[in-house]
Amino acid sequence: MAGKPVLIAFGSNIDPLENLYRGLVLLHQAIGIQRVSTVWKTRALTDPNQPEKREQEPDYYNGVVLVNDGVGDWPPLELRHRLRSIEHQCGRLRSQERYAPRTLDLDVVLMGPRIFAGDGMILPDPDLLHRPFIAIPCAELVPDLVHPRHAMTMETLAKKMAKIPETMVPNHTASLRLATIPQQMAGVP
């Protein structure tokens, strides 16, 4: 793969299909999307100190996008700022509650071989090593890309995960709708 591949995780559990579609259209307009992974429906993560909330939280739709070449040369905090702006345009209100429902969540997972830590951001995102709903879509998009800290390909990382949890299932309707965004937006300024 040419350039420095940039992978951005996306998720939503408030009107997820509509918010993800709107958010990815805005993301494509802002920085360009090359490919969209399969969309996975996953159980919401909840505060370990409040397990009773697990059944109350709506499920998430999660996936990863590979964005256009060139974005890998941006400063990481500038990219995060752009993502936060898109989240805001889609109605995301950040709160202190880590496990709050979200209209849109966009997180930089990896920026090519870059290793970075600053202002609350870590690259590669440590969640890539522990969350199948991030690792599996990354492996789908760039199976041969090597994790800069662990010298494993995305495919190997995904295979090291325990089997896909029962609470994680592909959502084919969402996958089809979101995968067409780059083609629908081709040539649109």
Amino acid making up residue 33: I
Higher pLDDT, 54 or 3: 3
DSSP codes, 108-158: EEEETT--EEETTEEES-GGGGT-HHHHHHHHHH-TTPBPTTT--BHHHHH
Query: Has residue 189 been placed in a domain?
Result: no
pLDDT tens digits for 53-80? 656 789 999 999 999 989 999 999 999 9
Tokens of 164: 């896909």
Query: Has residue 100 been placed in a domain?
Result: yes
Query: Has residue 1 been placed in a domain?
Result: no
Overall domain count for the chain: 1
Helices (H), the chain: 16-31, 76-89, 132-141, 154-160, 172-179, 181-184
For the entire predicted model, the pTM comes to 0.92
- H-helix or E-strand spanning residue 41: strand 40-42
**Residues 6+ positions from 11 with CB-CB distance below 8 Å:** 20, 60, 61, 62, 63, 102, 104, 105, 133
Average pLDDT, the chain: 90
Task: Using pLDDT thresholds of 50, 70 and 90, give the confidence band for residue 1.
Answer: very low
CATH number, position 133: 3.30.70.560
pLDDT tens digits for 118-136? 999 999 999 999 999 999 9
Domain that holds residue 21: 6-184
Query: Has residue 156 been placed in a domain?
Result: yes
Query: Has residue 22 been placed in a domain?
Result: yes
DSSP 3-state assignment of 102?
coil
